Amino acid sequence: ASNNSSDRTALQAEVTQLRQEIDRVAKTTSFNGTKLLDGSFANATFQVGANAGEGIAIDSIVSANSTTLGNTDFYVSTVATGTPAGTPAVMAAVPAGTFTITNAAGTAVSLGALAEVATGAERNKQVVDAVNAKSSETGVFARQTTSGYEIFSDRALATTNFGAAWGTTTGGASPPAAATATANQLDDINVNSFGDSQKALMVIDKAINAINSSRADLGALQSRFENAVANIQITGENISAA
């Protein structure tokens, strides 16, 4: 909230550079001429025994390319706000309980009351701010768009989750469109607004989880290799002694 548009522009420049560096590492990391982190390393089998079929297989290593890393499905419900004939010059206050969002546990969370405003743009901002103020409870976020605003989450959302009376309380807004799933990756993130930064953080969290999971798998495989090498060495010693 303390960042102005110039701050966000500077932050976005840094985000872009960091993303490009992640891509560079993904595309250039290799061993013995084999790329390891660009998604091409898969279905490799290492021979660890004396006989055929005695191997350890690695299905794949996570792709660290920004076009695939952190893949997250966002369910987006769009509200297009217009100015139909008969729209009052002043939009009335909205009582608490009119706007609700159902959280992951199935509990309806009230977004609180909205004060009287003079324009549709002000009402849009009110709703977006109200949704984001409760995001820690709901896991649902909002951001303004050129035609209205959108509400999004990384879980499936139903239009009915957002309460009633959208049309009469937002200056003639169209009903929220059914939430549709849109995939986002590290390559798509930006921090140009609060809503965008929340999307970015979700994608980054998924990316970190994917990297950590792959590291855990590789660590376990390394332990298997070490045990296999130790067994082979002991066998070699026993044969030499015999």
Instruction: Give me the pLDDT at residue 165, please.
Output: 39
Q: CA 83, CA 174: separation in Å to the nearest integer?
A: 10
CB 74 within 8 A of CB 205: no
Alpha helices for the chain (secondary structure H): 5-28, 120-133, 135-138, 166-169, 194-241
DSSP state of 152: E
Average pLDDT over residues 2-7: 90
Give the total residue count for the chain: 242
CB 129 within 8 A of CB 135: no
pLDDT in tens, 130-164: 989 998 898 888 888 877 788 888 887 755 445 44
pLDDT in tens, 163-178: 443 444 454 445 566 6
